[in-house]
């Protein structure tokens, strides 16, 4: 069951990054704002229908939960750096706070591609760690 959740979360994160890649490609096209906005709207509606700011928040909470689980599982183990995991959790918690502060404003940097790549990288790292610990 947990493996299915991880696969689904990975797919959704990849969808988010793909949608941002498409938006970045559109921003490089030398056209008028009206055309760019309409094409961007079309891509948002078809390529990523579930990418509301609430979805970002939900996914970030799931990653925080995974990191917290890893911290609990790694307690007492000498081969795992719990301080690094706590730093990851703090970073995610700070990002979540910003996301909640700018709820509904997808144009904010916290919903940008680099922020999502950072969250995805932490998720992939902790997914591997969780496999080792369980």
Closest to 22 measured CA to CA, from 55, 44, 50: 44
Helix (H) or strand (E) holding 109: none
Give tens-digit pLDDT for 61-94.
Answer: 999 999 999 899 888 888 888 899 999 999 999 9
* The model's pTM: 0.59
Per-residue pLDDT of the chain (134 residues; tens, 9 = 90+): 677 777 777 887 787 777 777 766 666 655 555 555 555 555 444 444 345 677 888 888 999 999 999 899 888 888 888 899 999 999 999 988 888 887 777 777 777 788 888 988 999 998 888 888 88
Distance CA(120)–CA(16), nearest Å, equals 10
């Amino acid at each position: 069951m947990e493996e299915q959740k991880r696969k689904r979360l990975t797919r959704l994160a990849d969808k988010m990054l793909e949608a941002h890649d498409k938006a970045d490609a559109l921003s490089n096209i030398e056209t008028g704002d009206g055309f760019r906005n309409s094409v961007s709207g079309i891509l948002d509606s078809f390529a990523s229908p579930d990418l509301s700011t609430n979805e970002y928040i939900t996914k970030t909470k799931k990653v925080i939960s995974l990191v917290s689980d890893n911290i609990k599982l790694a307690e007492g183990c000498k081969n795992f750096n719990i301080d690094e995991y706590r730093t990851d959790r703090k970073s995610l918690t700070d990002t979540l706070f910003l996301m909640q502060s700018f709820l509904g404003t997808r144009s904010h940097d916290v919903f940008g591609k680099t922020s999502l790549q950072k969250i995805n990288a932490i998720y992939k790292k902790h997914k591997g760690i969780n496999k080792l610990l369980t």
